[in-house]
Amino acid sequence: MSVPRLILILGDQLSPDLSALDSADKSRDVIVMAEVRAEGTYVPHHAKKIALILAAMRHFADDLRRDGWTVAYTALDDPHNTHSIGGELLRRAEEHGAESVIAAAPGEWRLRQMLDDLPLPVRQHPDTRFICSEADFSGWAEGRKTLRMEYFYREMRRKTGILMDGDHPEGGKWNYDHDNRKPARADLFMPQPLHHQHDEVVTQVLALVAREYPKTFGTLHPFWFATTRAGAEAARDWFMAEALPRFGDYQDAMLEGEKFLYHSILSPYLNIGLLDPLDLCQRAEAEYRAGRAPLNAVEGYIRQILGWREFVRGVYFHEGPDYAARNALNANRDLPWFYWSGETDMACMKSAICQTIEEAYAHHIQRLMVTGNFALLAGLDPQQVHEWYLAVYADAFEWVEAPNTVGMILFADGGIVGSKPYAASGAYIKRMSDHCKGCTYSVSRKSGEGCCPFNPLYWDFLLRHRDRFERNPRMAQMYRTWDRMDEGKRDESRASAADLLARLDAAQRI
């Protein structure tokens, strides 16, 4: 009889077409899946994120068994659990007499290195669930001085034929972002994402997470994520029918009390493998072709997946294992305590953080232009910010989170992901939200007591990094604006920024 091999499946690899299964043999090989404490605690992951992954893993293991696979599954509270992926592979190898491991390459350098260091032969297959392979991205990136998503996105459109009219983009333009910046108004009929009912598996996992992770970040209940492929597909179908038609117009908007607006809330399912990225793009295109969703909405949604998601994964692996640790702007201020508690008088920050605590979700503008913008302007340590984003969002895995945080949000990669930092004053938040109306701070005050903290911190950031950014053609105008400003106003702005940063350093309420 042939010696069995172990087939490793991780918690974000819950796809029946996983490359690790392609060369596996149901009659002899053993699938290894394990709920281990090390993966739940290397950052303080949100309770809902842990529950989503564990429940989805259990459901997927059941699907594999029904399909005829032998699955060696280790529950978190199994007394024999070694509580590390490597430890479970070695334990199962001894148990089943296996001498080698097959895996789809993990989405973190940390786990790839762990498999390389395992005292068993491990074959890591490329993860084929992405539209652009790592090799293809490196081929595209080779020789380029800068890596810009827009040019990559156009190449992906040509490659896939999605939203193309022959050799030209559908509608004559590649990008309809200009049409997708409308502020939203409260609407009693705004759609709410599907809330999925608990089954016995979810009920057991919620009790397990409450018991085993009593002090981790975020609230566990109510829990409404889908944890099966069928549930994720139902959420997909709901979005395409109910929210996609207005997604484009309001994708950058923020409203008090409206956590989801017209966003899909599909990224957690997509990033753990319950949905397929190309399928989502094709279904969105079909809605446009059928006249049920406008081009600006469909193009904007497809760009997030076919463009941005594929691009940041390519950057993460192309740049190498040190990417997440970069700090080009030498930012070193500690992450303020209110990122974990939501206890701040800034209405926009409080809304984004409290929503994150409750839902393990905030949309991309809340992450980029609120919590991220504050981290950039205040000079927060990129590694601490990176670990916060990785911990608190249900869709956060390092391959997607690190380039968004280290690159796009903090410019800590020195401009690999973006040509300029996404720095903004309070005026942007006022334009795109209704947060400022009820805020303790005045967005119209540029400095002095009661001013919106984003206003003086914005100028302070520009001044701290003038040597780097003054000659950037997209930022030069702001330096000219500062230079024309009345000297008294400049002094007051500097003083206000210094006071705010001193209060941050003293852990005072902001």
pLDDT of residue 183: 83
Query: What does the pLDDT look like over 265-282, one tens digit per residue?
Result: 999 999 999 999 999 999
Tell me: pLDDT of 179 over 80: no
Query: What does the pLDDT look like over 25-64, one tens digit per residue?
Result: 999 999 999 999 999 999 999 999 999 999 999 999 999 9
- Helix ranges (H only) for 119-173 are 134-141, 149-160
No. of helices (H) and no. of strands (E), the chain: 25, 7
Alpha carbon 147 to chain centroid distance? 19
Element (H, E) at 74: strand 70-74
Which fold does the domain 338-505 belong to in CATH? Answer: DNA Cyclobutane Dipyrimidine Photolyase, subunit A; domain 3 (1.10.579)
Domain ranges of the chain: 6-125, 134-319, 338-505
Which fold does the domain 6-125 belong to in CATH? Answer: Rossmann fold (3.40.50)
What CATH number has the domain spanning 134-319?
A: 1.25.40.80
3-state secondary structure of 71: strand
Name, in order, each residue with C-beta under 8 angstroms of 244's C-beta and a sequence gap of 6 or more. Answer: 262, 264, 284, 287, 293, 297, 298, 301
Confidence band, pLDDT 50/70/90 cuts, at residue 188: low
Query: What does the pLDDT look like over 303-353, one tens digit per residue?
Result: 999 999 999 999 999 999 999 999 999 999 999 999 999 999 999 999 999
**Percentage of the chain surpassing pLDDT 90?**
92
Tell me: pLDDT of 181 over 80: no
Query: What does the pLDDT look like over 202-239, one tens digit per residue?
Result: 999 999 999 999 999 999 999 999 999 999 999 999 99
**Percentage of the chain surpassing pLDDT 70?**
100
φ/ψ bin of 414: left (φ > 0), alpha (ψ from -120 to 50), beta (otherwise): left
Over its C-alpha atoms, the chain yields an Rg (Å, rounded) of 24
From the list 178, 220, 163, the residue with the least C-alpha distance to 357 is: 220
Confidence band, pLDDT 50/70/90 cuts, at residue 406: very high
